[in-house]
């Protein structure tokens, strides 16, 4: 623990008790605990917001690409021809 031994930690605790008093130590501990919880909560919210922003950005990029692909001239006709060719292949397989 930061290179501190048991004697050093005990000295630090005694000094803290002398400065703040035994009655205020629970209040200080409670305050520190609440502060740590708030910091964790803020950190988690920040991570969640970053993840959502990243997903939204990726989703927008994918939808933009799909729109661009759909706007290619002759693409729809090429898909229809491919589907028809696949149907013909399937029928010829059945006849064999």
Helices and strands in the chain, H and E counts: 3, 0
Say what the pTM is: 0.43
Tens-place pLDDT, residues 62-86: 777 777 877 788 877 888 888 888 8
Whose tokens are 């964790």? That residue is 40
Please check the confidence at residue 93 and state whether its pLDDT lies above 60: yes
Burial pattern 2-38, b for ≥16 Cβ within 10 A else e, equals eeeeeeeeeeeeeeeeeeeeeeeeeeeeeeeeeeeee
How many angstroms separate the most distant Cα atoms in the chain? 97
């Amino acid at each position: 623990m930061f290179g501190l031994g048991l004697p050093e930690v005990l000295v630090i605790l005694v000094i803290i008790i002398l400065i703040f008093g035994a009655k205020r130590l629970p209040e200080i501990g409670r305050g520190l605990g609440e502060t740590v919880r708030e910091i964790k909560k803020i950190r988690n919210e920040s991570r969640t917001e970053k993840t959502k922003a990243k997903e939204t950005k990726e989703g927008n990029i994918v939808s933009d690409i799909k729109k661009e692909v759909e706007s290619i001239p002759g693409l729809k006709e090429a898909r229809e021809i491919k589907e028809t060719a696949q149907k013909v292949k399937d029928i010829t397989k059945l006849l064999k």
